[in-house]
Structure 1
């Protein structure tokens, strides 16, 4: 796996070098060996790419070998090396302090795009080189598919808006923060479009089997009606708890009177009531979309936080402005202004996921022993960990916390 990873990393390094050379960024890489030229930088880049590609191959040993999984993990790996390389190791090697401040990170935004491109290409190349391992038969739900769509929407935004569009329009790449800010207005559309597309595809697959059928084979004997009623109640309760957590963010920011305007009010009390009702409705939707997908507290937190981010885009930046008679907040100033609300949505999603998991984990049909239930959950959780779920959680948090800050003026 190390050799395959090194070869895949070399492919990613070639693409990274070809993209960064016209931007004049390879001279910075060449400064590692005290020769600031494009040629030396390209050579050093290939060596580094092969080495860290070998590490990536080692880390991916035993994981699901399908391209989707390796590409998502590649994006995570590329972002990790952006932080570890240009922001940390490179400045230290040049006798400078680490670039952990916002201004330095914004100046190095082109390197972030390059590292994400490197990671995605390396992931694709590794998937092509990996042997066909054991089949992962875990059935994906609608909710996880929507989160996967968000990650793919982000990748599509990078590919179309930051690579293809400038190449077609000007014949060159432009990964400057200024250009990225201009392209950021399209990002919510890509994220929501990806979520809607994969969600719809998975919904059609699910309808062929049975709506909301559990992923755990041992629970299939329980009827759809009892499962859906129970999930609705648990989702409403979990959403209420998440809404109360979100309130801790909304109160200091004075957001509740804005929510009250949805029903023609303007008081904090009315806003709180409307907010909690909305929180329960979203909680019910989470229960129906993600039921049977959380096998421990980590996965519950991961799916919940991702769902909270999706609702920041769908609700905070899109539906809320539209319902109040304003255009969607699909621009950098609106995203930056809504950043505190993003923290609240992530906190809401985390609490929602954890509480819902705790409620559902207590349910065991009388005809199934506790040991058999736990064995099934453990196996499904193992398959989820070996698949793309942890990468999806990480990519979503990366988008949620990094992009609005790096694109702020």
Structure 2
């Protein structure tokens, strides 16, 4: 059996269980079967066939379980070697669920039912319940089950290992719980404004807003604790931690608002497009919660790193953080010019520059352009500070930039801009639909910003210019040291973009 090793700043994860293909296939088959059964139970509670047939839902079970077993085998043989942490299991499972949604509900199932394959927005919207179900209740569950079975059959879940894992998880869970508490307090502000707490309290068979608030904080802490346990080994700094929190918030929107909460309220899962559109405000809230969770968790971990690891003279880096961070801020501001100009093309086409000028009390397009470029510089500076250590290749830089742009679409036009202009949030479907062109602009901005920043660091970062002695030169991480879930996170960002297209495709 082979060994895969990669390490975080204070946690090293070693996995010696890359089982042979036959064992991986067996674990994948079992994981696919169990996850497929869970998915079938949840989906049929709403009288929806997993094969999208109009009748004979009980008769579809056997075919569905056979297909689930086969997809589990394919998952194990294609992604199994990448599933070496809980976070990797979840993310690659979600990605595989998305892939199966394209192959199954959008392609094979219409053929099975004697219907043409259309691949249109309307067909995708009709299959939206299967998208949410396959992404989380099937894909994520399959990934975690596969990881557990692979470790079990490899003998890595013996009492001694379980004890060590448990001790490590306690520390990670405490840090995550603190971060989750901060995120829950912010998310709770929106929930209080829309009077959502009485609905949450119905889980406890009461309509008390105070009880709902207490339950919300408890859930926030639990989600934060699980975040710390699941993703610590995949976090590579402030920027990546924010990105993981962003993705985890999206997953919990599906798992919480559309799945668990309706089940606890006795109405079954609510995966329909209409219900998802009604819960769009909750989606933004979960995303913002995830961002705060990721940022807070990274700051907690970084504080520990500075106090107890970097303070050791043997662990000090050849360049001080002050110089490095100032340079990253400057390069980020310069790189923001290309991103800001790319975004300007979208703003000119949609005539939104005058509204941007309203931030400073103006209404002229030229004033809006100046304000826009100023904001772009600030955002570019934050990118440089957050992702300075995660731009090893142009491909990874482009991917992180697109994620960063999508993050700022939620923070900017749906949150900060409305607060500045009107004193209220715009976490609703109407505002999101009106700002859909801005979504494209933000993703363009992030891509141009990140690629330009990568180009600048090659030329003006003395570490990358080999200005240091040979034994202290910058060495890009080797493939085995890269987090195995980064590519899955980037794909999950595409999934969220797809969900937004489907949600906004019919308006409010």
TM-score (norm 2): 0.73
Deviation at 1:16, TM superposition (A): 0.8
The structure showing larger relative contact order (alpha-carbon pairs under 8 Å, at least 6 residues apart) is 1
1:20 aligns with 2:43: yes
1:383 aligns with 2:481: yes
Query: 2-side partners of 1:198 and 1:228: how far apart?
Result: 20
Number of the residue aligned with 2:145: 125
1:354 aligns with 2:374: no
SS for the counterpart of 2:139 is: helix
Deviation at 1:90, TM superposition (A): 1.6
Deviation string for 1:172-221 (max 9, x for gaps)? Answer: 2232222111111111110010111121111111122249x9xxx99921
1:172 aligns with 2:195: no
Could you tell me which runs of 5 or more consecutive residues in structure 1 were left unpaired when the two chains were aligned: none
Q: Is the 8 A contact 1:149 1:196 kept in 2?
A: yes
Question: CA RMSD for the aligned pairs?
Answer: 2.5
Q: Is the 8 A contact 1:177 1:407 kept in 2?
A: no
Query: 2-side partners of 1:407 and 1:275: how far apart?
Result: 25
Call closer, same or farther: CA 1:138–1:69 in 2, change over 3 Å: closer
Q: For 2:87, which of 51, 59, 68 is the aligned residue?
A: 68
Call closer, same or farther: CA 1:382–1:336 in 2, change over 3 Å: farther
Q: Is the 8 A contact 1:12 1:121 kept in 2?
A: yes
1:51 aligns with 2:70: yes
Deviation string for 1:204-242 (max 9, x for gaps)? Answer: 11122249x9xxx99921122221121111100111211
Deviation at 1:122, TM superposition (A): 0.3
Number of the residue aligned with 2:352: 255
Call closer, same or farther: CA 1:44–1:90 in 2, change over 3 Å: same
Deviation at 1:9, TM superposition (A): 0.8
Query: 1-side partners of 2:118 and 2:428: how far apart?
Result: 27
Query: 2-side partners of 1:310 and 1:27: how far apart?
Result: 32
Deviation string for 1:357-379 (max 9, x for gaps)? Answer: 11113333412449964xx2141
Query: 2-side partners of 1:290 and 1:22: how far apart?
Result: 44
Deviation at 1:143, TM superposition (A): 0.8
Query: 2-side partners of 1:265 and 1:272: how far apart?
Result: 11
1:149 aligns with 2:245: yes
Call closer, same or farther: CA 1:137–1:70 in 2, change over 3 Å: closer
Call closer, same or farther: CA 1:96–1:326 in 2, change over 3 Å: farther
Deviation at 1:27, TM superposition (A): 7.0
Alignment of 1:301-316 (within 5 A): 301-316=398-413
Deviation at 1:138, TM superposition (A): 6.9
Deviation at 1:404, TM superposition (A): 3.9
Call closer, same or farther: CA 1:218–1:168 in 2, change over 3 Å: closer
Call closer, same or farther: CA 1:218–1:339 in 2, change over 3 Å: farther
TM-score (norm 1): 0.90
Deviation string for 1:44-91 (max 9, x for gaps)? Answer: 111101101111111223325111111011111111111111111222
Q: Is the 8 A contact 1:332 1:404 kept in 2?
A: no
Show structure 1 runs of 4+ deviating over 6 A. Answer: 135-138
Call closer, same or farther: CA 1:254–1:223 in 2, change over 3 Å: same
Q: For 2:134, which of 93, 110, 115 is the aligned residue?
A: 115
Alignment of 1:222-301 (within 5 A): 222-301=319-398
Call closer, same or farther: CA 1:139–1:310 in 2, change over 3 Å: closer
Deviation at 1:382, TM superposition (A): 4.9
Call closer, same or farther: CA 1:330–1:15 in 2, change over 3 Å: same
